[in-house]
Amino acid sequence: MIFAFSDRVYIFDTTLRDGEQSPGATMTHSEKLELAEMLDDMGVDIIEAGFPIASEGDFKAVSEIAKRSKNAMICGLARANFKDIDRCAEAVRHAAQPRIHTFIGTSPLHRAIPNLTQDEMAERIHETVTHARNLCDNVQWSPMDATRTEYDYLCRTIEIAIKAGASTINIPDTVGYTAPRESAELIGRLIKDVPGATEVIFATHCHNDLGMATANSLAAVDAGARQIECTINGLGERAGNTALEEVVMAMKVRNDIMPYRTQIDSTKIMAISRRVATVSGFAVQFNKAIVGKNAFAHESGIHQDGMLKNAETFEIMRPEDVGLSETNLVMGKHSGRAALRSKLKDLGIDLADNQLNDVFVRFKDLADRKKEVFDEDLLALVRADTADEQSDHLNLKSLRVVCGTQGPQEASLELSIDGVVRSVTATGDGPVDATFNAVKELYPHAARLQLYQVNAVTEGTDAQATVSVRMEEEGKIATGQSADTDTVVASAKAYINALNRLIVRREKSPPGEDLKSVSYKDAG
């Protein structure tokens, strides 16, 4: 089969691997399982679930995702050495469709890291791809930093990988160096020049350092690539990766000039975008294409008038195409449980009766404090409710703060610790710092605060604040989130939630489980 002439484009999602390499974006085990299920459900073809050799946490996550997979192929990453590949094979072996993805840096800069000559690296590629193929029927190989590798040597290494048994050849633009025309020319030349190239699938893996990841990926597809490697929201280290939602919707909206198809259910894009933003702590910028808050907002008078007359005047796709509810109906204190259930269902959330009851209580409380409760408020409520389910070791009972221009800023905190209520008053550099100090006095710990982030859920002075907190203790990482109309209260709840998660993880997992122990730049 000559893949370059097929209209089918395979979506390879690496949110759980490359996306998690974003500084501070570490996800918990349960969050990885949840996202993998969502990716599988939306029609992603290949899920790169992690780097099994990197940490015990990564190995466990890849293994469990492999066991739970339904339709998607489950892939693990391995450097070009037998130890990495063996560990990867062990992690993915339970998947109905397993894949080993092995790589080595082929550019002059990357060859210098392991100090290998071209011939030595060629031999390494032959040995490791052959080894991977003996362990798994489906092998993907990547020449890392391909776009800065000498063309003749790139062709030589790809030919070796194909002959050794690789069925997918990925061409990574590791540092976001290439441009659309160059991306297309490279893929086209490789398919034409490399023996056996028409018998394998070529993939494109682009980073966004120059803001061209999506354009480079689509250009590569035009030239014959049939797999796009991408992440939800473009999550990834530095400027991020190709955004899944952008390439999928570009091919869908402009199918007239990009006549390709994927099996992605685009109506599930918004739900997973929101979830990735929540678990990673990386909020989606308002003007982000497809999934940003303003992607379907029209403020100018001319645009609004055009929209009222004909939505197609200024919209090239419908909000519902990406899973955004057509209207943001306002809920209030008189709205009942049935209306809440219906609204949540419209937002892609289906809760059990007990969960709905908990959210309904929170909703009524919020509706008493806010004039209007919007879709975003409800989503924040659900996230907060889910977060509070993690553990009840620590519970906030009451909080009062003193702040202003005249110090010291002070927090009086009442905290339930395993059912015993204790109280303390602490000072700090502002009310949030004072609150966190108060928690630490009542519950001493060595956890380090890695991230503190506040976002307004909606507009107005009565808007809820969503607070995200990430903490690290002895190699274990936990995130906490909460939402409240009082920012300090939301901060306290998020901080306590993160501590509760750390307590649970302390009991269930060994130290250092979340810490990566290998270099992604190291060839092995």
Q: Could you report the per-residue pLDDT of 281-306, keeping only the tens digit for each?
A: 788 888 999 998 888 764 444 443 44
CB atoms within 10 A of CB 515: 16
Distance, CA of 490 to CA of 506 (rounded, Å): 24
Q: Which of 182, 114, 164 minimizes the C-alpha distance to 144?
A: 114
Sign of CA dihedral 298, 302, 304, 306: negative
Would residue 514 count as lying in a domain?
A: no
Domain count along the chain: 4
Question: Do 48 and 149 reside in the same domain of the chain?
Answer: yes
pLDDT tens digits, one per residue of 232-266: 999 998 999 999 999 999 999 999 999 999 999 99
**Does 223 share its domain with 258?**
yes
3-class DSSP state of 99 = strand
Same domain, 150 and 31: yes
Q: Are residues 334 and 199 in the same domain?
A: no
Does residue 365 have a pLDDT over 80?
no
CA dihedral (437, 441, 445, 446) positive or negative: positive
Residue 435 has φ and ψ, to the nearest 5°, of -65, -45
Please indicate, yes or no, whether residues 199 and 184 belong to a single structural domain of this protein: yes
Half-sphere exposure of 395 (CA within 13 A, CB side): 12
**Are both 89 and 219 inside the same structural domain?**
yes
Predicted confidence at residue 306, as pLDDT, reads 47
pTM of the predicted model, to two decimals? 0.81
Q: Spell out the alpha helix ranges (H) of 370-408.
A: 375-388
pLDDT > 90 in the chain, percent: 60
Mean pLDDT over 102-106 rounds to 97
- Helix boundaries (H) for 43-137: 56-68, 82-92, 108-111, 118-135
Between CA 514 and CA 28 the distance in angstroms is 8
Rounded-to-integer distance, Cα 40 and Cα 20, Å: 18
Rounded-to-integer distance, Cα 295 and Cα 303, Å: 13
Residue length, the chain?
524
Regarding predicted confidence, which is higher, 225 or 318? 225
Comparing CA positions, the residue from 38, 202, 168 lying closest to residue 99 is 168
Tokens standing for residue 54:
């990197």
Nearest to 214 by CA among 248, 185, 172: 248
Orientation angle between helical segments 118-135 and 82-92, nearest 10 degrees: 30
Backbone angles phi, psi at 194, to 5 degrees: -85, 125
pLDDT at residue 178 above 80?
A: yes
Residues 315 and 265 in one domain: no
For residue 420, the domain's CATH number is 3.30.160.270
* Residue 218 contacts residue 226 (beta carbons within 8 Å): no
- Is residue 64 included in any domain, yes or no? yes
Average pLDDT of the residues of the chain? 87
DSSP helix/strand/coil, 323: coil
CA 500, CA 492: separation in Å to the nearest integer?
Answer: 12
Cis, bond preceding 408 (omega within 30 deg of 0): yes
Q: How many CB atoms lie within 10 A of CB 167?
A: 16
Whether residue 516 contacts residue 25, with contact meaning beta carbons closer than 8 Å, is answered with: no
Model confidence at 353, pLDDT cuts 50, 70, 90, reads: confident
d(CA 441, CA 322): 46
Backbone φ and ψ for 118, nearest 5 degrees, come out as -60, -40
- Residue closest to 473 by CA, chosen among 492, 501, 436, 439: 501
Compute the average pLDDT of residues 7-16. Answer: 97
For 217, the token pair is 């990926």
Q: At residue 2, does pLDDT exceed 50?
A: no
271 in the same domain as 206 = yes
Asked if 258 and 311 sit in the same domain, the reply is: no
Answer with the one of 339, 363, 387 that is the final residue of a domain. 387
Is 421 within the bounds of a domain?
A: yes
User: CA dihedral defined by 262, 85, 53, 109, rounded to 10 degrees?
Assistant: -80
- Domain presence at residue 168: yes
Statement: residue 467 has pLDDT above 60: yes
Residue 522 lies in a domain: no
If asked whether residues 370 and 314 sit together in one domain, one would say no
80: its two tokens: 């070009």
**What is the average pLDDT across 75-91?**
98
Res 25: pLDDT: 74
| CATH number, residue 36 | 3.20.20.70
Q: How confident is the model at residue 325 (pLDDT cuts 50, 70, 90)?
A: low
Report d(CA 57, CA 31) in Å as an integer. Answer: 12
The sign one gets for the Cα dihedral 188, 193, 194, 200 is positive
What CA–CA distances, in Å, run from 35 to 31, 43, 367, 389, 471? 6, 13, 30, 18, 21
**Would the pLDDT of 15 be above 50?**
yes
For residue 363, the surrounding DSSP H or E stretch is helix 353-369
Tell me, yes or no, whether 275 and 362 share the same domain. no
Interatomic CA distance for residues 515 and 523, integer angstroms: 19
Q: How do residues 130-146 score in pLDDT, each as one tens digit? A: 999 999 999 999 999 99
Cα–chain center distance at 129: 28
Q: Which domain holds residue 422?
A: 390-508
User: What percentage of the chain's residues is helix, strand, coil (to nearest 5)?
Assistant: 45, 20, 35
Q: Identify whether 517 is part of a domain.
A: no
Residues 457 and 382 in one domain: no
**Per the structure block, which two tokens stand in for 389?**
């389910």
CB 200 within 8 A of CB 238: no
User: Stretch 34-61: mean pLDDT, rounded?
Assistant: 95
> Is 358 domain-assigned?
yes
**SS3 call for 54:** coil
Is the CB of residue 266 less than 8 Å from the CB of residue 9? no
Tell me the C-alpha distance between 313 and 307, whole Å. 6
In a domain, 424, yes or no: yes
